[in-house]
Structure formats: C-alpha cells, structure tokens
C-alpha cells in the first residue's frame, strides 16, 4: 500500500521543526525566498495553512477582495505568536495542511516549498522524501492552485536528473527534482540548478518574482 501523503507531511513538518528549534534569535529575522517574509512569518504562514479550512480560506479571500497579499498577511498575523518560540510551538502543534483536500499533494507541496524557502537562506540541509516530492511535482505540473505552476511550465519539458519524472513537451529544463518543484513554485533562486534550452524561457516567465 502506498504511503499516505499526510504521513509524509507529518515527517517533513517534524524535520523542519527540529531544525527551527536550533535557530539563534537573530536567524528568525532572516529574509526567506518567499517574497518579503522572514523565517518567522513563513512559519506562521504554514501554521495558518494547516489551521484554515477550505471554506475559511475562501471567506478570507473574499474579505480581501481576492488580493492574495492582503489575505496572506492577515492570516500570518493571526497565527504568529508573541515570540518566535511561541510561533514555533504553534507550528509544531499544527495538523496536516489539507488544502485543497485532505491527503492532497497540494498541502504537502505547500510545506515542502516553504520549508525550502527557509532552509536555503539559512544554509540548512535536508533531503525531502522522494515519493512525496514526486507527487508534488506531478501536481504542480498539471494544476494551478496556490501558484500558477501549470501555466508557468506549459510548452516546456521538465526532466528530473535524480528521479523518474518527465513532463511536457518543448524546450527542456533539466535538474534535480527539488529544483524543478521550486522553479514551478516560482522560486528564481533554483534556476541556476537547471540546464537546457527551456531555462531561459522559464526565467522570463517568472519575471524575477518569488511568490507565497
């Protein structure tokens, strides 16, 4: 029986918590790959994702007049603690991110992408579960959800050099699976890990803007 993605998500969350627990106070203010957010804000965002149902998420978007930045900022402030430790404690106690549905690759993708948003600037190493990462790559390549990943890579061929993943047709972008996933999430910092004729086109489509 295939392992549930929610179980993989639990392990990935525990791994991130263990690394965050070792941060010095000033490291919580480190800018991440996620727009203008620092480490603590990204952790609060992840907690909000786990603590917000699809219905509540939609209500928040409507109140924000479908401005994702306003929507995300409000949720971050709601789920952020008085101190980084309290923010971490809330994240540790958070359940599975079940957006758009329980046991969906979307929730696991949210966790993986934002965990890497944090780890890369801090120089933290972690090997993401391969099976979970493959599920997220396939989800991102075939669906626009939290990010416009499907639209971003339309007309390009994505090829993982370290896993059984190939998608699309057209100019190719090849590299480690984690780099492909992060690129599909709009993280320009990972383009340097990719090679092929499709990388230039991918960079132009991104426009240099990393997203939440």
Residues 106 and 152 in one domain: no
CATH of the domain at 144: 3.30.1050
Q: Give the end-to-end CA distance of the chain in Å, rounded to a whole number.
A: 33
Residues 92 and 142 in one domain: no
Residues 110 and 160 in one domain: no
User: Of 54-58, 61-65, 188-192, 206-210, which has the strongest mean pLDDT?
Assistant: 188-192
**Does residue 188 fall inside a structural domain?**
yes
**Does residue 212 fall inside a structural domain?**
no
| Coil, strand or helix at 174 | strand
Confidence label for 211 from pLDDT (cuts 50, 70 and 90): low
pTM (predicted TM-score): 0.92
Residues 19 and 75 in one domain: yes
Confidence label for 19 from pLDDT (cuts 50, 70 and 90): very high
Residues 61 and 151 in one domain: no
Number of domains in the chain: 2
**Does residue 74 fall inside a structural domain?**
yes
Residues 114 and 150 in one domain: no
Tell me, what's the pLDDT at 21?
A: 98
Q: Give CB contacts under 8 A, 24+ apart, made by 149-154.
A: 149/184, 149/185, 149/186, 152/184, 152/186, 152/202, 152/205, 152/206, 153/184, 153/202
Residues 198 and 146 in one domain: yes
Confidence label for 199 from pLDDT (cuts 50, 70 and 90): very high
Residues 169 and 114 in one domain: no
Residues 148 and 67 in one domain: no
Mean pLDDT over each residue of the chain, to the nearest integer: 93
Residues 177 and 73 in one domain: no
Q: Which residues form the domain of 83?
A: 5-122
Tell me, what's the pLDDT at 1?
A: 53
Q: Which two tokens stand for residue 162?
A: 């370290």
Residues 113 and 193 in one domain: no
Closest CA to 207 of 159, 164, 148, 161: 148
């Amino acid at each position: 029986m295939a392992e549930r993605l929610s179980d993989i998500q639990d392990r990935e969350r525990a791994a991130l918590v263990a690394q965050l627990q070792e941060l010095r106070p000033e490291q919580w203010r480190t800018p991440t790959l996620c727009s203008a957010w620092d480490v603590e804000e990204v952790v609060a965002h992840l907690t909000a994702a786990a603590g917000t149902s699809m219905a509540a998420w939609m209500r928040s978007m409507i109140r924000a007049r479908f401005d994702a930045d306003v929507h995300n900022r409000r949720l971050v402030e709601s789920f952020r603690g008085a101190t980084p430790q309290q923010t971490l404690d809330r994240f540790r106690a958070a359940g599975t991110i079940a957006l758009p549905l329980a046991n969906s690759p979307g929730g696991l993708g949210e966790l993986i992408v934002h965990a890497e948003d944090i780890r890369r600037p801090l120089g933290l190493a972690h090997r993401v579960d391969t099976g979970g990462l493959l599920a997220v790559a396939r989800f991102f390549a075939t669906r626009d959800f939290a990010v416009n990943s499907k639209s971003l890579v339309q007309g390009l061929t994505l090829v993982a050099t370290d896993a059984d993943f190939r998608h699309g047709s057209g100019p190719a972008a090849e590299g480690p699976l984690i780099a492909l996933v992060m690129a599909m999430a709009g993280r320009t910092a990972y383009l340097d890990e990719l090679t092929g004729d499709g990388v230039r086109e991918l960079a132009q489509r991104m426009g240099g803007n990393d997203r939440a």
